Amino acid sequence: MTSTERPQVVLLHGVGLDHTMWQPLREHLSHQTVALDLPGHGGQPPLRTAQDLASLAADVLARLDTRAPVHLVGFSLGALIAQHLARFAPQRVRTLTAVNSVCRRTADEAAAVEQRLATAGTDFAQGIDRAIQRWFPAGETAVDQRIIEATRQTLAGNDVESYVHAYAVFARGDREIAGELSGIIQPALAITGELDPGSTPQMSRRLAESIPDCRLRIIPGARHMLPVENPVALAGELNKFFSDNEGNQA
């Protein structure tokens, strides 16, 4: 298989972000990549009604290249959408990668995210500050300050109503897909950061145990924003995973 015949890699970002979050990673990937904006994000129209995981996945599915199955890589909310697509549109997905994904939140984990959802629309600016601090703790992160500021600006540019609709899916979508994970037939990779407090290593272990053909990787020292915090490590795992599932390379 030549480089021009390799399957396309499709990247799905997290809630409140957009396709630009993937730029640090794309530079290190061995395949052609396409980064889509999720419904209600970036260049897509804002969401004006309540959504669920199925409705967001249907929107993304309509925008996927139909010529060949893709390596589908989702981050956070994008990982939940990717899982739904792998399960219900298997002919369109060659491999599934869930980056910093939640999975089967415990009662305490569900309560914590519901609390963030409850205040998302009423104290949006403070929510952004808290997210930035969770993702890039002052004095503890090596991420370039320009990337941190760009992330902050992307979050601040959200339409608040649309963001809340999307965040509700992030808060509850793991329950929507949980019973379907065993039906995912593609090779899968569950990968997260060792120090991610929200999409924890234990959640990725739950995911890897639930999907029949799923490898697990935990990146030491990384937090939630793995694609920008350690794009080299993530790209290394992705490139190997893709190669392992494409047969012999020319």
Q: How does pLDDT run across 123-182, given as a tens digit for each residue?
A: 899 989 999 999 999 999 999 999 999 999 999 999 999 999 999 999 999 999 999 999
Q: How far apart, in whole angstroms, are the C-alpha atoms of residue 226 and residue 96?
A: 17
Closest CA to 17 of 233, 239, 228, 230: 228
| CA gap 104, 202 in Å, rounded | 10
72-95 pLDDT, tens digit each: 999 999 999 999 999 999 999 999
- Cβ burial of 55 (10 Å; 0-12, 13-18, 19+) is middle
Token look-up 């298989």 returns: 1
pLDDT at 119: 87
Q: Which strands form 188-193's sheet, in the order they lie side by side?
A: 33-36, 9-12, 70-75, 93-99, 188-193, 214-219
Assigned architecture for domain 3-244: 3-Layer(aba) Sandwich (3.40)
Name the percent of the chain lying above pLDDT 90. 91
**CA 30 from chain center: how many Å?**
19
Q: Are 213 and 187 in contact (CB under 8 A)?
A: yes
* Spatial contact of 60 and 12, defined as CB atoms under 8 Å apart: yes
Q: What pLDDT score does 122 carry?
A: 86
Mean pLDDT for the stretch of residues 46-52: 98
Sign of the Cα torsion 105, 108, 110, 115 reads negative
